[in-house]
């Protein structure tokens, strides 16, 4: 591990969070950072962890790996984040942690959730995997709660291929975390080789012309575990912890992080700019839009749109080469069945269920979104 590069990277991350490098902890993926924080909070068998019913399955996985129980809360239809009244109802004597999330880059009620948790002597964790660089009431995302974790996976605010980090300032938690981190494995040579191959393919081979063919190839390779995908098959179909899960960040990721972090200020501006254009379109056509008052704090990693007949819209997008996303097509994305395995009972979450049936996400980091605005017009009849 190159200590000087590691320090430099942590320092640059810390500058976005108004903190110092010693409060930043690097991990192989964002989910691993969450798992480490949960351990530092001594979450274990018999404990409950509250989280939104509109998240990625790797979040409840980290809870289940420790023998604790995920307790879901339905979402607010306007923010796609856990509804605070629902959080209050879900608190029980077993609740140890509340996880709040900056879905698509939007934080909401983080201060109020933290206050509520304090009254009940419960920890809070902010899932900032979509929200690094964004703010809530003027303060950086992740700075209201007892701890926060971030992702630097491909589609995240900036990328290290796969990657993540945690931010903690509480002394006791940091001491606990130091012990937890003594069990971290270093990534294997095969991990870093496959990451380097992926960097090469993404940067040198993936031109606009072959993008769609290469994306199909990448999905196939990652399904068969031949390149670094975001989640292994096992994480999507079971709650058994994969081998070599608890890994540190490699030097290759740190180098990539230092390089790509330079692009973040520009990307943040571009995302907001594009989001405004999408929102103007939706407002003009009386479709579901994002409340403009939320714009100053919203990082707009993706722009949410709601549609009828999603499969049809997706097929049209593929034909017209529009890169639409499907976060979160399930309350525990991307799992489409056997939700009970993750303690989720669909009937209890009507809002999350409805939104996960309708949601699609528009890319916000494209330089020219004329084609996407034109596509919105083509699918106008499907927009909700």
Q: 30 or 140: whose CB is closer to ligand PLP?
A: 30
Q: Tokens for 212, please give them.
A: 């769609």
Task: Give the DSSP letter string of 303-358.
Answer: EEEEBSSHHHHHHHHHHTT---B-TTSSTEET--S-GGGGT--GGG-HHHHHHHHH
Count of CB atoms situated within 10 Å of the CB of 214: 15
Q: 63 or 290: whose CB is closer to ligand PLP?
A: 63
CA gap 58, 235 in Å, rounded? 7
As measured in angstroms, the least distance from the Cβ of 126 to ligand PLP is 11
Torsion angles phi and psi, residue 80, rounded to 5: 60, 15
User: Which residues of the chain form contacts with ligand PLP (CB under 6 A)?
Assistant: 29-31, 55-56, 58-59, 101, 127, 129, 151, 153, 164, 230
Torsion angles phi and psi, residue 207, rounded to 5: -85, 165
Q: 50 or 59: whose CB is closer to ligand PLP?
A: 59
Q: 153 or 330: whose CB is closer to ligand PLP?
A: 153
As measured in angstroms, the least distance from the Cβ of 95 to ligand PLP is 20
Nearest residue to the partner ligand PLP, using Cβ: 30
As measured in angstroms, the least distance from the Cβ of 65 to ligand PLP is 13
Q: 34 or 383: whose CB is closer to ligand PLP?
A: 34
**Crossing angle for the helix pair 171-181 and 30-40, to the nearest 10 degrees:** 120
As measured in angstroms, the least distance from the Cβ of 127 to ligand PLP is 5
CA gap 125, 149 in Å, rounded? 8
Q: 59 or 254: whose CB is closer to ligand PLP?
A: 59
As measured in angstroms, the least distance from the Cβ of 375 to ligand PLP is 24
As measured in angstroms, the least distance from the Cβ of 324 to ligand PLP is 16
Assess contact for 60 and 68: CB atoms under 8 A: no
* CB neighbour list of residue 36: distance below 8 Å, 6 or more residues apart: 25, 27, 166, 177, 180, 181, 246
- What three-state secondary structure class fits 135? strand
């Amino acid at each position: 591990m190159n200590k000087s590069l590691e320090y430099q990277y942590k320092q640059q991350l810390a500058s976005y969070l108004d903190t110092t490098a010693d409060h930043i902890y690097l991990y192989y993926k964002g989910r691993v950072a969450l798992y480490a924080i949960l351990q530092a909070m001594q979450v274990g068998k018999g404990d409950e962890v509250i989280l939104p019913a509109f998240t990625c399955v790797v979040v409840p996985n980290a809870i289940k790996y420790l023998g604790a129980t995920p307790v879901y809360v339905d979402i607010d239809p306007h923010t796609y984040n856990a509804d605070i009244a629902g959080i209050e109802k879900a608190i029980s004597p077993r609740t140890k942690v509340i996880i709040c999330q900056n879905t698509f880059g939007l934080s909401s009620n983080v201060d109020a959730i933290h206050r509520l948790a304090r009254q009940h002597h419960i920890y809070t964790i902010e899932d900032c995997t979509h929200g690094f660089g964004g703010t809530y009431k003027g303060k950086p995302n992740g700075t209201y709660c007892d701890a926060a974790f971030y992702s630097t996976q491909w589609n995240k605010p900036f990328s290290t291929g796969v990657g993540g980090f945690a931010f903690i300032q509480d002394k006791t938690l940091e001491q606990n975390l130091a012990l937890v981190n003594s069990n971290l494995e270093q990534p294997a040579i095969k991990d870093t080789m496959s990451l380097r191959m992926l960097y090469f393919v993404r940067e040198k081979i993936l031109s606009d012309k072959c993008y769609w063919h290469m994306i199909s190839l990448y999905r196939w390779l990652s399904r068969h575990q031949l390149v670094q995908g975001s989640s292994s098959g096992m994480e999507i179909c079971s709650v058994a912890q994969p081998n070599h899960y608890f890994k540190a960040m490699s030097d290759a990721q740190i180098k990539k992080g230092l390089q790509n972090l330079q692009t973040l200020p520009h990307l943040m501006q571009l995302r907001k700019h594009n989001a405004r254009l999408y929102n103007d379109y939706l407002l003009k056509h009386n479709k579901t839009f994002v409340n403009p008052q939320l714009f100053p704090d919203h990082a707009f990693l993706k722009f949410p749109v709601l549609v009828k007949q999603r499969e049809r819209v997706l097929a049209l997008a593929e034909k017209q080469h529009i890169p639409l996303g499907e976060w979160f097509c399930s309350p525990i994305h991307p799992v489409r069945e056997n939700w009970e395995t993750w303690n989720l009972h669909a009937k209890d979450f009507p809002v999350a269920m409805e939104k996960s049936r309708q949601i699609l996400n528009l890319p916000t980091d494209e330089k020219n979104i004329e084609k996407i605005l034109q596509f919105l017009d083509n699918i106008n009849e499907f927009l909700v």
